[in-house]
Amino acid sequence: MLISGTSLTAKLDLQLRAKIDKLSLKPRLAIVQIGDNPESDSYVGAKKRGAEKLGIKVHHVQIKKHISTLELISKVQELGKDKNIHGIIVQLPLPTILDTKRIITAVPANKDVDGFNHESPFTPPVALGVLEIIKATEKNLHSKNIVVLGRGITGGDTVIRTLDKLNIPHVVIHSKTHNPDEILKKADIIISAVGKPEIIKAKVLKPGVKLISIGITKTKNGLVGDYNEEEIKDIASFYTPTPGGIGPLTVHFLMENVYEAAKN
C-alpha cells in the first residue's frame, strides 16, 4: 500500500494554519542559501511555498558570490540576533570549501528549526515526518525490527538521533557495514536515507516490510527514491513514493517548528 505524504500533509497543514492565524505576530523564517545550485533552488522553493501557504514570512538570504566560513558564520549570527526572525535554516549542501559543521553550529539553538544541533529544542523535521508516516499504520515501534540506512547530516543522522532520544531500538547500516543484506532481510521497517536509486533490492525484503525513502535522486526520468516502487509494491505492506512521500511532511514539520519558535 502506498502512503502519500502529500495527503497526510494536507490535513496537518489545515491544523497548523489555524494555530498560526491565532498568533499575535507573524512567524518569520530566514533561509540562508549559498551558491548557485539548481537542487537547492528546488528545495528552497518548496519551503517558501509551504511557508506562504501557512502564513509564515520568509527572509531569503541568497549569497551567490564567494564567501568564507567566518563571513557566513557572522551572517548567521547577525540573523540570530534579529528579534523578528524566529527560525533560521542554512540550506545544505554547502560548497565544499565551507565548514558545514561550524556554520550549522552558529545557528542559535532556540532558532535552529532544522534541529541539526544537539542543543536544539526542536526535533528534526525529517525525523518527525518519518514518525508521522509510521504512526499512520504502526502503534508499537519498540517491538519492531527497525533498520536505518545512511547517517548523513540531513537524513539518516536526524532519524537515528530521534530514535535514540525516544529509546526506540534500531540498527544502522552504513558504508562500512559488512552484512547489509542479512540485516535488511530481518527488518520490519526500513528507513532509507542513502540517495542512491535502487540501493534496496526487492530480493532482500521480507513480505510485509514497511519502506520509507528519505533518499532522493534526480535522474533523466525524474525524481526517484532508494527503491524501485514497481518491484517492491507487492512485497511491502506500505511504502512511501518519490516524490510525494517524506518531502511534503518534512516541509510541514519545519513550519511547525517555526510556529513553536514564534510562539515561545
Q: Which residue has the cell 529544542?
A: 121
Instruction: Answer whether residue 159 is part of any domain.
Output: yes
Single-letter amino acid, residue 158? T
CA distance 33 to 25: 25
Query: Domain end: 64, 80, 113, which one?
Result: 113
| 6 within some domain | no
Output the pLDDT for position 137: 84
Closest residue by Cα to residue 79 from 123, 116, 42, 29? 29
Do 243 and 169 share a structural domain?
yes
Residue 95's φ and ψ, nearest 5 degrees, are: -55, 145
- In this structure, are residues 239 and 227 in contact, taking their beta carbons and an 8 Å threshold? yes
> 234 is written with which cell numbers?
507487492
Is 72 a domain residue? yes
Binding site membership: which residues?
150-152, 216
Residues 82 and 108 in one domain: yes
Binding-site residue set for NADP(+): 150-152, 216
* CATH number assigned to the domain comprising residue 179: 3.40.50.720
**Does a structural domain hold residue 236?**
yes
Give me the domain span that covers residue 188.
125-247
End position of a domain, from candidates 113, 144, 176: 113
Residues 175 and 218 reside in one and the same domain:
yes
Q: Quick one: 148 and 84 in the same domain?
A: no
> pLDDT truncated to tens, each residue of the chain (264 aa)?
899 999 999 999 999 999 999 999 999 999 999 988 888 899 999 999 999 999 999 999 999 778 999 999 999 999 999 999 999 999 999 999 999 999 999 999 999 999 999 899 999 999 999 999 998 888 888 899 999 999 999 999 999 999 999 999 999 999 889 999 999 999 999 999 999 999 999 999 999 999 999 999 988 888 899 999 999 999 999 999 999 999 999 999 999 999 999 998
Specify whether the CB–CB gap between 109 and 119 falls below 8 A. yes
C-alpha grid cell, residue 227: 527503491
In a domain? residue 144:
yes
Same domain (yes/no): 96, 210? no
Check whether residue 144 and residue 239 sit in a common domain: yes
Tally of structural domains, the chain: 2
Between the alpha carbon of residue 181 and those of residues 64, 110, 171, 200, 205, the distances in Å are 43, 40, 13, 9, 9
Residue 243 counted as domain residue: yes
pLDDT of amino acid 175:
87
pLDDT of residue 108: 98
Shared-domain flag, residues 101 and 156: no
| Last residue of one domain, picked from the residues 59, 93, 113 | 113
Statement to judge: residues 95 and 177 lie in one domain: no
Same domain for 194 and 102: no
The DSSP secondary structure of 67-130, one letter per residue, reads --HHHHHHHHHHHHT-TT--EEEE-SPPPTTS-HHHHHHTS-GGG-TT--STT-SSPPHHHHHH
CATH number at residue 73: 3.40.50.10860
Q: What is the DSSP letter of 202?
A: G
Tell me: do 72 and 172 sit in the same domain.
no
* Same domain (yes/no): 183, 88: no
Are residues 162 and 231 part of one domain? yes
Say whether 63 sits in a helix, a strand or coil: strand
Structural domain includes residue 133: yes
Q: Is residue 203 part of a domain?
A: yes
